Chains A and B, each alone.
Chain A
Amino acid sequence: MKKRLMRDILVDFLRDEMTNGDKVVLVEADLAKCSATIPLMDEFPERALNVGVAEQNMASVAAGLASYGFVPFIHSFAPFATRRICDQAMISIAYSKQNVKIIGSDPGITAELNGGTHMPFEDIAIMRSIPQMVVYEATDNVEFSQALPQILQYDGAVYIRMFRKTPPPIYEEDYKFDLFKATVIKEGRDATIVASGIMVSAALKAREELLKEGIDCEVIASPTIKPLDEKTIIASAKKTRAVVTAENHNIYGGLGSAVAECLSENCPTKLKRVGVKDKFGEVGKAAYLSKVFNLEVSDIISAVKEIL
Chain B
Amino acid sequence: MDYNHIKSFAKEIRINIINCIGSIGVGHIGGCLSIVDVLAVLYAKQMNIDPKNPKKEGRDRLVCSKGHAGPAVYSALAEKGYFPKSELLTLNQGGTTLPSHCDMHKTIGIDMTAGSLGQGLSCAVGMALGSRIRKDGATIFAIVGDGESQEGQIWEAGMYAAHKKLDNLIAFTDFNHMQIDGTTDEINSLEPLNKKWEAFGWNVYVVDGHDIEAIDKAIDKARAYESKPSMIILDTIKGKGVSIAEQAKVACHSMSLSPEQCEKAISEIRGEL
A residues apposed to B, CB below 8 Å:
25, 46-47, 49, 51-52, 54, 56-57, 59-70, 72, 87-88, 90-92, 95-97
Contacts and interface: CB of A to CB of B under 8 A. Distances in A.
A60 B127 contact: no
18 contacts: A54-B156, A54-B159, A57-B157, A59-B122, A60-B153, A61-B160, A63-B119, A63-B123, A63-B126, A64-B127, A64-B129, A64-B130, A66-B126, A67-B112, A91-B113, A92-B113, A92-B123, A95-B113
Given A67-B104, A87-B116, A56 B127 contact: no
B113 A60 contact: no
B119 A88 contact: yes
Nearest to B63: A64
B273 interface: no
Interface residues of B, number: 31
Given A46-B133, A57-B153, A67 B160 contact: no
A51 B120 CA distance: 16
Contacts of A60: 119-120, 122-123, 125-126, 153, 157
Given A61-B123, A92-B119, A54 B160 contact: yes
A46 B153 CA distance: 22
B252 to A, nearest CB: 26
Contacts of A51: 156, 160
Given A67-B104, A67-B111, A25 B133 contact: yes
Give the interface SS of chain B, mostly helix, strand, loop or mixed. helix
A64 B115 contact: no
B85 interface: no
Contact of A67 (B126, B132, B133): B126
Nearest to B126: A64
A223 B132 CA distance: 37
Give the residue among B63, B131, B132, B153 with the most A Cβ atoms within 10 A. B153
Contact of B113 (A49, A70, A72, A96): A96
Contacts of A88: 119, 122, 153
A68 B134 CA distance: 9
A102 to B, nearest CB: 14
A61 B104 contact: no
B125 A61 contact: yes
A72 B127 CA distance: 12
Interface string B40-73: 0000000000000000000000010000000000
A61 B130 CA distance: 10
B156 A64 contact: no
Given A47-B133, A60-B122, A60-B157, A91 B115 contact: yes
A47 B130 CA distance: 9
Nearest to B127: A64
Nearest to B140: A64
Contacts of B127: 64-65, 67-68
B222 interface: no
Nearest to B57: A69
Contact of A68 (B119, B126, B153, B160): B126
A70 B128 CA distance: 13
Interface in B194-233: none
B264 interface: no
Contact of B130 (A59, A65, A90): A65
A86 B104 CA distance: 21
Contact of A64 (B116, B123, B134, B159): B123
